[in-house]
């Protein structure tokens, strides 16, 4: 037998095996045995999907802010020989990109928060501070929530692992997860707002940009930066705390990682997402201070949020 003939035979063999496996998968997922497995965890799957939806809502927290620890930023060279200015004019329509001179770019890189406020029209006042605290609170819960959710999903799948053929749980984990009814979990950080300072030389051949990404770390710093500059109304500064990541942790510890609404505790329920709630909402003049903060599980917090919205 020639070498080419042998290779062809191996190739045909592989294709045949792949097709057979696909048919096997198709039949397995349609079979009654799998349907029973799926329905045995249906309640848990629905819970996971609910939390997934909730996390996506947290990530989309409204961040329409018209736009003395300076945050970090990245300066990168985006020079391009055949740069077309028109492209950047298109991009410039976004409220998160500011086309600027070389000197503004340089300053924005060394003092990002100062230039963020100045060029993206972010007012330095108490209202803005509260809004960013709200964003940080929700983003921090989303960041924690997505990993708790992934753990919980893996835990649920492990409960039925014995009833699922080993070849499927090893080779087709992703498909199995989908067929069990779990919605995909987005673990990316793409939802953090990014503000960009962009410089293009007159000829268009040279350019550079500076990105300020408001991730958890930078939001923490930005809030501290704002609070240093804000002149607080009614001199409430004394009783006001800042909704930083460390305050969130402090409140959870104080409440012994227990929801103050339904008393579920992270000690009893693993992968329970706990959030920090303003007892009197910020929108109704509530303050960020320890006596106005409590720990709620995500379900209680969501229910409360819906009630507050209805009452408005």
Among residues 283, 262, 64, which one has the least CA distance to residue 275? 262
Tell me the closest approach of the beta carbon of residue 93 to Zn ion, in angstroms.
43
- Which lies closer to Zn ion via its Cβ, residue 63 or residue 269? 269
12 class by beta-carbon count within 10 Å (0-12 exposed, 13-18 middle, 19+ buried): exposed
Distance CA 91, CA 89 (A): 5
* Residue 274 DSSP SS3: strand
Among 141, 227, 297, 302, binds Zn ion (CB under 5 A): 297
Q: Which DSSP string corresponds to 4-69?
A: HHHHHHHHHHHHHHHHHHHHHHHHHHHSHHHHHHHHHTHHHHHHHHHHHHHHHHHHT---------
Residue closer to Zn ion, measured from CB, 261 or 305:
261
| Nearest approach, Cβ of residue 258 and Zn ion (Å) | 9
Q: Which one of residues 92, 193, 204, 261 is an interface residue with Zn ion (CB under 5 A)?
A: 261
Using CB under 5 A as the binding rule, whether residue 273 contacts Zn ion is answered as no
Give the tokens for residue 265.
């505790």
Tokens, residue 146: 């997505």
Cα 201 to the center of its chain, rounded Å? 35
Query: Which region, judged by CB under 5 A, interacts with Zn ion, from 120-128, 129-137, 178-186, 289-297?
Result: 289-297
Q: Is the CB of 78 or the CB of 268 nearer to Zn ion?
A: 268
Q: Which of residues 237-256 bind Zn ion (CB under 5 A)?
A: none
Contact assessment for residue 195 and residue 104, using Cβ atoms and an 8 Å cutoff: no
Q: Does 259 bind Zn ion (CB under 5 A)?
A: yes
Residue 305 interacts with Zn ion (CB under 5 A): yes or no: no
- Tally the C-alpha atoms within 13 A of residue 194's C-alpha that lie toward its C-beta: 11
Among 13-21, 26-34, 158-166, 257-265, the segment contacting Zn ion (CB under 5 A):
257-265
Q: Does 306 contact Zn ion by CB under 5 A? A: no
Nearer to Zn ion, 200 or 297 (CB): 297
**Cβ closest to Zn ion, residue 138 vs residue 258:** 258
Interface segment toward Zn ion; rule CB under 5 A; list 18-26, 167-175, 269-277, 300-308: 300-308
Q: Which residues bind Zn ion (CB under 5 A)?
A: 259, 261-262, 297, 300
């Amino acid at each position: 037998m020639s070498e080419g003939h042998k290779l062809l035979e191996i190739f045909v063999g592989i294709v045949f095996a792949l097709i057979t496996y696909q048919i096997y998968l198709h039949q397995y997922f349609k079979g009654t045995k799998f349907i029973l497995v799926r329905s045995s965890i249906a309640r848990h799957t629905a819970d996971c999907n609910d939390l997934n939806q909730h996390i996506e809502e947290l990530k989309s927290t409204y961040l329409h802010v018209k736009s003395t620890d300076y945050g970090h930023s990245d300066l990168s060279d985006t020079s391009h020989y055949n740069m077309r200015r028109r492209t950047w004019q298109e991009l410039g329509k976004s409220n998160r990109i500011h086309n600027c001179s070389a000197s503004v770019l340089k300053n924005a890189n060394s003092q990002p928060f100062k230039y963020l406020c100045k060029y993206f029209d972010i007012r330095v006042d108490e209202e803005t501070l509260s809004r960013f605290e709200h964003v940080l609170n929700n983003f921090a819960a989303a960041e924690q929530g997505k990993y708790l959710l992934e753990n919980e999903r893996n835990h649920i799948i492990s409960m039925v692992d014995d009833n699922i053929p080993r070849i499927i749980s090893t080779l087709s984990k992703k498909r199995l997860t989908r067929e069990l009814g779990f919605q995909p979990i987005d673990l990316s950080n793409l939802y953090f707002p990014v503000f960009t300072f962009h410089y293009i030389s007159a000829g268009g051949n040279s350019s550079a940009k500076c990105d300020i990404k408001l991730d958890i770390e930078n939001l923490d710093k930005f809030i501290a930066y704002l609070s240093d500059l804000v002149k607080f109304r009614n001199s409430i500064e004394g009783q006001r705390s800042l909704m930083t990541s460390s305050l969130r942790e402090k409140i959870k510890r104080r409440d012994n990682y227990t929801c103050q609404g339904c008393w579920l505790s992270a000690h009893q329920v693993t992968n329970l997402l706990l959030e920090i709630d303003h007892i009197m909402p910020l929108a109704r003049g509530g303050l960020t201070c320890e006596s106005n903060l409590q720990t709620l599980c995500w379900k209680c917090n969501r229910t409360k949020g819906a009630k507050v919205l209805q009452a408005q």
